[in-house]
Amino acid sequence: MTTLEQFELLNDPFPIVPDGPVHNWAGREDLKEDLIDLVKGVRARDIGVTEFVVLFGELGAGKSHALRFLKTLIDDESSKQTGEFKSLALYVERPRVATKLNFLELHKYIVRILGRDRIKFFCGQVKEKFDAILNELATEAGYGNVNNKASFFESAVEKIVPNDRAMVRLLMRGASDDAKIFEFLIGNERCDGNEYEGKIDSDFMAAKILSDFFRVLTSELRPKERIVESVYLFIDECEVLIDAKISESDLVFSGFRELINELPYRFGMILSFSVATALIEAIMPNHLLKRMTRNYVEVPMLEDDDAVRFLRDQINFHRPPNSGEAGTFYPFTEEALRYIVANTNPVTPRNLFMDCKRVLERAIRRYSLQPGDVIEREMAEKILQGIR
């Protein structure tokens, strides 16, 4: 049985499932550099000022790919001890995540993406930093060796910025009882402490709690110590807001506004629309338009040379270490890939993957492609013409 490994491939280089990591950029290099500069500028070590940006372009231009690429970049580096970002990046496929379209449902969805385990980890990190403040105060007073430092608790709380105190108290409790904190954050239960009143059952409350949570994660709880350097929220397919009722879309936009207002630093939000900017301005409230930190960023359709380079990089990303085919188009020829690109419409990463996968699979199964052989242009043409 012929395997991908025999063709110098560790894994399928053309995954159709869209929700996996995206390691290779598809499109213009200058756009890639601009977007990387944008997300880096949000970090605490850089400028640290919040960015609110809108991507736009034709359907299939690669906006989703771009957002997933940025999320993967941040996630990969944040998982390393010496990473570039040490940040939190969240990707949401579209603003409508439930039957009801409002910010409350979006908030619940974001909390589910975060997950109980990750929230518990953040709770532990907040408590660890708070305990360090507590120990410093006790030591300064000559009680560093005393086990019970509860008498210094309120003094330690006063070291926290006033707007962050409620969330810090809440998350500290979550270090030992994460179930109740998670149920509150996701909107299922009332707050069982005195940090917040009632449940998260309104758009206003959802935006407040989410902004408090993100702000504490990025705050300097101790000098030069933060849980994360920055938080990113990437929301795709925002054109669904155009078809929604104004009463619904306004709830989502108002939630976005509250996030930006409450998170002036170390927060990056990028929305993507598959419509012209005129339509965006027609439905996005003026109060939110004024908060955009940059002009609209257009994601153009892939040009042929960019698409061919992207496919080559994608193939080589899945090669085994020290492969003798590193840097080549194998098991394709460059001419075969150029033919596939020229006959894929529209030229999107997903469509390119589908056509390349079809050609590779049929070349092996129907035309008995053997390891060491390559797919020539003529074979690619024959296969694609046979399935269209």
pLDDT at 85 over 90: no
Mean pLDDT across 358-366: 93
CB-based contact 86:228 (threshold 8 Å): yes
Which residue type does 151 have?
A: S
The answer to whether the CB of 267 falls within 8 A of the CB of 230 is yes
Nearest CA among 217, 206, 177, 255 for reference residue 108 = 206
- Please check the confidence at residue 82 and state whether its pLDDT lies above 60: no
| Residue-level pLDDT at 331 | 96
What is the CA 308 to chain-centroid distance, rounded? 26
Instruction: Tell me the chain's radius of gyration from C-alpha atoms.
Output: 25
The arithmetic mean of pLDDT across residues 318-323, rounded, is 92
Residue 329, CA distances (Å) to 13, 256, 282, 288, 333 in order? 12, 44, 45, 46, 6
pLDDT tier, 50 (very low <50, low <70, confident <90, very high otherwise): very high
> Which residue type is seen at 256?
F
pLDDT at 81 over 60: no
* DSSP structure class, residue 152: G
Rounded Cα gap, residues 98 and 40, in angstroms = 32
Query: What is the per-residue pLDDT for 19?
Result: 61
Give the pLDDT band of residue 136 (cuts 50, 70, 90).
confident
**Residue 135 and residue 383: Cα distance in Å, rounded?**
70
Q: Is 371's pLDDT higher than 80? A: yes
- What single DSSP character describes residue 332? B
Mean pLDDT, rounded, for 123-133: 93
pLDDT tens for 212-243 read 999 999 999 988 889 999 999 999 999 999 98
* pLDDT tens-digit series, residues 191-209: 988 999 999 999 999 999 9
Q: Does residue 21 have a cis bond before it (omega within 30 degrees)?
A: no
pLDDT of residue 250: 94
Q: What is the mean pLDDT of the chain?
A: 91
Beta carbons within 10 angstroms of residue 8's beta carbon: 20
**Straight-line distance from the first to the last Cα atom of the chain, in angstroms, rounded to the nearest whole number:** 28
* pLDDT at residue 294 greater than cutoff 80: yes
Which residues on neighbouring strands pair with residue 250, listed in sequence order? none
- Judged against a pLDDT cut of 70, whether residue 281 lies above it is answered with yes
Mean pLDDT confidence for 322-334: 95
pLDDT of residue 78: 61
Mean pLDDT value of segment 124-132: 93
Contact between 293 and 37 under an 8 Å Cβ cutoff? The reply is no
Residues 6+ apart with CB under 8 A from 27: 62, 65, 66, 299, 300, 302, 306, 310
Question: Would you say 170 and 191 are in contact if contact means Cβ atoms under 8 Å apart?
Answer: yes
Q: Are 47 and 263 in contact (CB under 8 A)?
A: no
262 pLDDT above the threshold of 90: yes
